[in-house]
Amino acid sequence: MTVTPRRPSRTAVLTAVARALHREEPPPWVLDDPLAMGLAGDDGPAVARRFRTELSTESLLSFTRWVCVRARLPEDIVEKAVEQGVEQYVILGAGLDSFAYRRSDLVSHLRVYEVDHPASQAWKRQRLQEMGIRPPANLTYAPIDFEHQTLRRGLTTAGFDFAAPAVFSWIGVTMYLTVEAIRSTLATIATCAPGTRIVLTYNQPLSALHGIALELDSAIRTFATEAGEPFLSLFIPKEIEALLREIGFADIMHFGPDEAVRTYFPGRTDVRFGGAQRLVAATVAANR
């Protein structure tokens, strides 16, 4: 069946541009993504201009650094998993993620599955071709239209082995979904082999924010709402942890501003994150 390419979501372009802008800082970078602006396509430069116009310098740095932190942490988790023999990595809502095209050191040990809407995936593949980038042999595209297909069926069709451990990343997505949709996806992942790891982002409610977090949250919400992608589900850390444990996950690791600075900006006193969005990692429990 032929799928008509559809331009990526505006928020996918937003985060790709943020990864690109991080490279305008002096190195070392949290994430070195030379493909990001190319993947953003024709919309990239305009989004970059809007960033510079609408955000203060501090907020822009906070946002671009955080977008790179949230992309880097899953890659670090994958690296450790590969050392332990894990051979599957699933990127849910892959959007304009570039892991498979720049981390050949890890991809050579993995089967990588990019999960996204068929039309968005078709556009990305076309864009990669225009950029002269050939997808690696170990990458499998798993086009899933959730209105007509379940995650389990889509992954099974793509060749994913639910009996073998894996790493899942689910970055920059949950705030656009209902709690029911989030629960359904997590429940599917919880049926994977014990030891399977997931790392995901979630956004906090306004009541949990202050300072720079409020400015950034307002700007990103405005952008997302204009793009037809309003925020639907928000959590504080104890709420997302309770949901994960209820579904069958253990070994919960919370990762927010303090952890980001200690891990990726050690010794830096000039780096600030608001905490509007946080990361959490968890493991499929053996005795669920």
Residues 139-169 as b or e (16 or more Cβ within 10 Å = b) = bbbbbbeeeeeebbebbeebebeeeebbbbb
Does position 224 have pLDDT exceeding 90, yes or no?
no
> What does the mean pLDDT of the chain come to?
94
- For 20, list phi and psi in degrees, rounded to 5: -70, -40
Q: Taking a C-beta distance cutoff of 8 angstroms, is the pair 95, 67 a contact?
A: no
The confidence band for 7, taking pLDDT boundaries of 50, 70 and 90, is confident
- Average pLDDT, stretch 105-126? 95
Tokens representing residue 165 in the block:
């451990």
- CA of residue 110 relative to chain centroid, distance: 18
Q: Which of 79-88, 155-164, 212-221, 275-284 has the lowest mean pLDDT?
A: 212-221
Sign of CA dihedral 95, 101, 104, 107: positive
- For 148, list phi and psi in degrees, rounded to 5: -130, -5
Residue 34, preceding peptide bond in cis (omega within 30° of 0): no
CA atoms of 98 and 19, how far apart (whole Å): 10
| Per-residue pLDDT tens digits for 87-109 | 999 999 999 999 999 999 999 99
Find tokens 């050939």 and name the residue: 134
- Average pLDDT, stretch 135-154? 92
CA atoms of 274 and 271, how far apart (whole Å): 10
Does position 244 have pLDDT exceeding 80, yes or no?
yes
* Residues contacting 104, CB < 8 A, separation 6+: 136
pLDDT for the residue numbered 287? 73
The confidence band for 4, taking pLDDT boundaries of 50, 70 and 90, is low
- The domains located in the chain, with CATH, are 10-284 (3.40.50.150)
Q: Which of 72, 62, 66 is nearest to 33 (CA)?
A: 72
* Residues contacting 233, CB < 8 A, separation 6+: 174, 175, 177, 178, 179, 182, 202
The confidence band for 36, taking pLDDT boundaries of 50, 70 and 90, is very high
Residues above pLDDT 70, as percent of the chain: 98
pLDDT for the residue numbered 69? 98
The DSSP H or E segment spanning 10 is helix 10-22
Count of residues in the chain: 288
- Average pLDDT, stretch 149-173? 96
